[in-house]
Amino acid sequence: MSVTSIDVPLVLLHAFPLSAAMWRHQVSGLADLCPVFAVDQRGFGTARDVSLEGVTPSLDVVADDLAGYLDERGLNQVVLGGLSMGGYVAMAFLRRHPDRVRGLILADTKATADTPEAARDRLRIAEAIEREGDTESLAATMLPRLLGASTRNERPDVVDWVTTEIRGAAPAAVAWAQRAMAARPDSLETLAAADVPALVLVGEEDETTGIGEARTMVEVLPRAELRQIPRAGHLSAVEAPEEFNAAVRDFLTRLR
């Protein structure tokens, strides 16, 4: 087998409040199939020092950051994948730069906007993180939302890794991202207009954006398929990387 089996790069966008390191198993596990780029979003990971001061919180800003990232690397069209917040950014990118998306992978995310209650909760968390100056409380409250019961009960290594990632996130980036997600629009019309192959993935134990949200996206996407990842919660790519990669590999090989 050649090192690169398909000629379309795969670009992956991480969940909140993690970094591109969450895609380590995908970068290594899919590298024989296509070029794989895991991108740190503004304020996280290697982009931690990108200024947020004076920048209105908006996922459109992050989507345009991504366009610049692709330009710098000479990447015209890509298969774009995002999990949770990464999915929100992928939909913002699809809305703003539709001609650059060759295929779409949406994992453990949703196309609907936050309810007023959910948006208020995000703003409350943003204010609390700024006030506290660290993400200790966020790690405690988010773990049950991010990881499925199987992982929490049987995979202490994954629990520890995700906890460390959350604790390492910059408070300013966490607050900015929460406000950006609270302000995001409904993306169902964007998906309905996306005439590209799409794969919707969801962990079977995801209680944050579960099967109902996944089916809603599949129903409006013109060319979508749905795959569930067993024994995984909201971070399906982290919790069950082999199963996640197998689904992505199958999808990508049929793009040829």
Q: Report the pLDDT value the prediction gives residue 256, as an integer from 0 to 100.
A: 65
Q: Answer yes or no: is 127 within a domain.
A: no
Beta pairing partners, 227: 201
At 9, list the tokens: 């790069």
The verdict on residue 139 lying in a domain is: no
Task: Report strand pairing: 224-229 vs 198-203.
Answer: parallel
Residues 6+ away with beta carbon under 8 Å from 52: 42, 43, 172, 173, 176
Answer yes or no: is 159 within a domain: no
In a domain, 96, yes or no: yes
d(CA 58, CA 114): 14
Whole-number Cα distances in Å, 231 to 52, 120, 154, 237, 240: 37, 31, 10, 11, 7
- In this structure, which amino acid lies at residue 37? F
Residue 152, in any domain of the structure: no
Tell me if the bond preceding 17 is cis, omega within 30° of 0: yes
Residue 214 lies in domain? 10-113+185-253
Nearest to 21 by CA among 251, 201, 238, 243: 238
Question: Tokens 């990118």 label which residue?
Answer: 93
What are the C-alpha distances in Å from 132 to residues 51, 122, 127, 128, 137? 20, 15, 9, 6, 9
Element (DSSP H or E) covering residue 167: helix 156-168
What's the confidence (pLDDT) of residue 88?
Answer: 98
Residue 33 included in any domain: yes
Residue 129 lies in a domain: no
Report CA Rg, the chain. 17
Nearest to 21 by CA among 77, 91, 74, 83: 83
Q: What is the mean pLDDT of each run of 10 residues along the chain (256 residues)?
A: 69 98 98 96 93 94 97 97 98 98 98 97 95 90 95 97 96 96 98 97 97 98 98 98 98 88
Measured CA to CA, the distance from residue 92 to residue 59 in angstroms comes to: 7
Number of domains in the chain: 1
- Written as six digits, the tokens of 201 are 């993935």
Query: For residue 54, what is the domain's CATH number?
Result: 3.40.50.1820
Q: Is the peptide bond before 230 cis (omega within 30 degrees of 0)?
A: no
- Residue 249 in domain: yes
pLDDT at 7: 83
